Structure 1
């Protein structure tokens, strides 16, 4: 197992080796703005005409994120469909929502083709020349939002804006979402050392831990799953996102042996409970959190809280997810999984110390 070296988190060469990843994280807010700017013309034509679909079916990438935002407030039944195709009952009275990137997505293509065949209403976010765009071209009154990248969050914000204008979802405020992502990028910038960087601080927690990530609300739980995916990808280690009922048994660990010889054999990863708090005031959520924290304290399990209570639902989700993605990136850097850049010329263009993206 790779050993975590915390000095890499502030080491220019190690950070430079992960430039591609950190730069993409830093530009998340810009991608949201670009997505909405590209969709501006299409969104200007979207409005509620008083007609409500019988149901909304979301298919393709991040359909569950759309469901997490819409389901509590949507005035009609909502279904996230894993595909392929569409549920048998879907027809002209129903609205199909599809998020798809430029890469091949057979399930999204299948759903788009079925929506055309059955005459469903359709809202699709995809690049103009993608297979999904081609499959949905036969539907005359479809709302097509031209995606600018493979950023699932940016596409989801554009789709949610369209659904809000159709009076099927809550206010999105994409500018607030982008601003939240910019704030996270500033807080978690590689220019900030471990002492002042919340993502590097969380990476230190994850360094020798089996991460158990919990979010109490529907959106925080969705963010937890996104964070866990990033941790697994960045570290090659296991990580778990689940509800309180599934996490409580995992927290039942024997106490740490304070007298064990650390050089005798590598110690197994112990659980660390990461709580994503989006400020939702709900008695059920509070009770689950109390049980988790009590169990963690009783079994010597470290607890780390990431809190984001300001902004719209999707803005809080975006900030929590992004904090976790940054922490996962720094975990991978600390484990040396991105290689090592050497012989860096301080005057070379793109040097992190001079690049505003950093």
Structure 2
């Protein structure tokens, strides 16, 4: 088990020095990122499409390592969607995409080769194109050439690794995609009350979870301590919190280097039944030697369920009660995270932001480099140099 430096948690200056990737600063500015997305929408002059102007399908492609942006878009817009949202991956446009569809591309740097290849293919098929990318980037220029719709995001800091840039681009890209989708009748989110509520909620989390806030008053620091030395099982009640669970698990893995599982209840619990029956779920039985000295023993890693709760999801409270009872029966630690308020987007933002902060605090207190892009970053380089990348598609 990797030891946690608990003293560092209450040292704001020390946390800043240990956070080599400047993740805490980025998270503190999440509300400002959403507000900038609102301004970008105003500059783009988005209008609400008439029913006859709506595409048959909105196909969305996002650069790698940005997190579950498309899944978040689909989950948040599904209840009011008049048009389906479909995720596209890779550099080959699916054969079913044609003139009746809209292809939306989102890239934090705007030089992603796979996205540029998709723009060219969409143009040949007569498919509409919209882009969320920095102004003046290659992707922005490509969209301008094909007369596509362009939403501008802020350019990333010079010299930052691509994966770090992508990791920090979640809110700018999601904000732009929500606004674009809303203009085509997919969901009800966009500049105005919903974006303002989201930005305010992200600001509030940033204040509560700031480095200077003492651990006992800081929910993200407390959650980081709870998860240290455990195997987190992040479950969400309902599709929106299920996506938040995926985001939290990805942050724990990519930022803190901690393996984490995630899923949406009730299916995730059913699929994980044998996991809780295994060694990570059962208490270590040593009653045969009750009086032995345990001072030198290391604490075994155990499962740690964390529930992200949306009370509007059907059966949410019953699911929480069942998992809490299971954790109690197995003597497992357990956390429940619930956001309040009438707006699903704001509730989603609060839970995601809390998980992001907790992952960073867990990283810095275990000595993990938050500016690291990981051992397998060379795989990105191999993909970019693949001679088949961006090849012509065989679609109609």
**TM-score for both structures, normalised by structure 2:** 0.78
Deviation at 1:118, TM superposition (A): 1.3
Deviation at 1:288, TM superposition (A): 3.9
The answer to whether the Cα contact below 8 Å between 1:123 and 1:159 also exists between their aligned partners in 2 is no
The answer to whether the Cα contact below 8 Å between 2:209 and 2:218 also exists between their aligned partners in 1 is yes
Deviation at 1:104, TM superposition (A): 4.2
Q: For 2:51, what is the secondary structure of its paired residue?
A: coil
Residue in 2 that maps onto 1:89: 96
Residue in 1 that maps onto 2:175: 157
| Aligned partner of 2:356 among 309, 313, 325 | 325
CA distance in structure 1 between the aligned counterparts of 2:88 and 2:344, rounded to whole angstroms: 22
Q: Deviations over 1:150-202 (max 9, x none)?
A: 52222211221232133222234211111110000011111111111111110
CA 1:217 to 1:110, structure 2 compared with 1: closer, same or farther past 3 Å? farther
2:151 counterpart of 1:123: no
CA distance in structure 1 between the aligned counterparts of 2:47 and 2:208, rounded to whole angstroms: 36
| Aligned partner of 1:274 among 306, 317, 320 | 306
The answer to whether the Cα contact below 8 Å between 2:327 and 2:334 also exists between their aligned partners in 1 is yes
The answer to whether the Cα contact below 8 Å between 1:38 and 1:148 also exists between their aligned partners in 2 is no
2:9 counterpart of 1:9: yes
The answer to whether the Cα contact below 8 Å between 2:245 and 2:262 also exists between their aligned partners in 1 is yes
The answer to whether the Cα contact below 8 Å between 1:124 and 1:159 also exists between their aligned partners in 2 is no
Q: Deviations over 1:183-225 (max 9, x none)?
A: 0001111111111111111011111211111112212111111
Residue in 1 that maps onto 2:336: 305
The 10-residue stretch of structure 1 (225-234 or 254-263) with the greater mean CA deviation from structure 2: 254-263
CA distance in structure 2 between the aligned counterparts of 1:113 and 1:286, rounded to whole angstroms: 48
The answer to whether the Cα contact below 8 Å between 1:248 and 1:295 also exists between their aligned partners in 2 is no
The 10-residue stretch of structure 1 (71-80 or 257-266) with the greater mean CA deviation from structure 2: 257-266
How many residues were matched structurally? 336
CA distance in structure 1 between the aligned counterparts of 2:72 and 2:34, rounded to whole angstroms: 16
Deviation at 1:94, TM superposition (A): 0.9
Superposition CA RMSD, Å: 2.3
Q: For 2:179, what is the secondary structure of its paired residue?
A: helix
Residue in 1 that maps onto 2:203: 182
CA 1:167 to 1:77, structure 2 compared with 1: closer, same or farther past 3 Å? closer
2:227 counterpart of 1:219: no
Residue in 2 that maps onto 1:100: 107
Deviation at 1:257, TM superposition (A): 5.0
Unaligned runs of 5+ in 2: 64-68, 156-164, 371-396
Please list every run of at least 4 consecutive aligned residues from structure 1 whose deviation after the TM superposition is greater than 3 angstroms: 256-265, 285-291
CA distance in structure 2 between the aligned counterparts of 1:48 and 1:297, rounded to whole angstroms: 52
Residue in 2 that maps onto 1:59: 61
CA distance in structure 1 between the aligned counterparts of 2:9 and 2:359, rounded to whole angstroms: 12
CA distance in structure 1 between the aligned counterparts of 2:110 and 2:131, rounded to whole angstroms: 15
The 10-residue stretch of structure 1 (216-225 or 159-168) with the greater mean CA deviation from structure 2: 159-168
CA distance in structure 2 between the aligned counterparts of 1:82 and 1:294, rounded to whole angstroms: 40
Q: For 1:125, what is the secondary structure of its paired residue?
A: strand
2:275 counterpart of 1:254: no
CA distance in structure 2 between the aligned counterparts of 1:316 and 1:86, rounded to whole angstroms: 34
Residue in 2 that maps onto 1:344: none
Deviation at 1:32, TM superposition (A): 1.3
CA distance in structure 2 between the aligned counterparts of 1:60 and 1:110, rounded to whole angstroms: 13
The answer to whether the Cα contact below 8 Å between 1:277 and 1:309 also exists between their aligned partners in 2 is no
CA 1:232 to 1:261, structure 2 compared with 1: closer, same or farther past 3 Å? farther
CA distance in structure 2 between the aligned counterparts of 1:262 and 1:122, rounded to whole angstroms: 64
| Aligned partner of 1:244 among 257, 269, 272 | 269
Q: Deviations over 1:24-52 (max 9, x none)?
A: 1111111111222133121x342222322
2:173 counterpart of 1:145: no
CA distance in structure 2 between the aligned counterparts of 1:24 and 1:175, rounded to whole angstroms: 19
The answer to whether the Cα contact below 8 Å between 1:220 and 1:278 also exists between their aligned partners in 2 is yes
Q: For 2:61, what is the secondary structure of its paired residue?
A: strand
CA distance in structure 1 between the aligned counterparts of 2:35 and 2:275, rounded to whole angstroms: 41
The 10-residue stretch of structure 1 (208-217 or 169-178) with the greater mean CA deviation from structure 2: 169-178
